Amino acid sequence: MAAFVKFNDFVEQLGLKQHDLNADPLFVYLSNEAPLATDTTRADIADLSTGGGYTAGGIDTLNTASETPAGTMTVVGTDAVWTATTGFGPFRYVILYNQVGGLLSTNKLIGWWDYGVGGVTLAASETFTVDFGASLFAVT
């Protein structure tokens, strides 16, 4: 999996109690627009259009968070899988955001993964999986 990169605003928003990483629905969506570390809401980064097996807004990660006595919080989630019906793309970035609020302008960004130059395009019946491994991310 590509390396996770956090948005700068995510740290401030944690301190302002804008994220409940155990209860708020965290979604991932696909984009071909390069994220900037200074982006703050989902409105800042274009989503793919609905079609070909992709639904704009992405997939719920069904996240939960747990903390350890050592002071680390780990956020885990279910891998996101898209299956193309007629094909879609290209996309290069997977964007993680907090879906609370339901509006592009209120959905706070958390981080992203870059899948490399050239992007990804799916043909009919192909799948793309965001494999989170042991966790989406950890807060230390």
User: What's the number of domains the chain is made of?
Assistant: 1
Stretch 32-46: mean pLDDT, rounded? 97
pLDDT per residue over 120-132, tens digit each?
999 999 999 999 9
Higher pLDDT, 76 or 106: 76
Q: Distance (Å, rounded) from C-alpha 111 to C-alpha 97?
A: 7
Average pLDDT score, the chain:
94
CB 74 within 8 A of CB 135: yes
pLDDT at position 105 is 84
Q: How far is CA 103 from CA 91, 100, 111, 113, 136, in A?
A: 22, 8, 18, 22, 23
Closest CA to 42 of 122, 96, 82, 119: 96
Q: Which domain holds residue 19?
A: 4-139
Residue 30 has pLDDT above 80, yes or no: yes
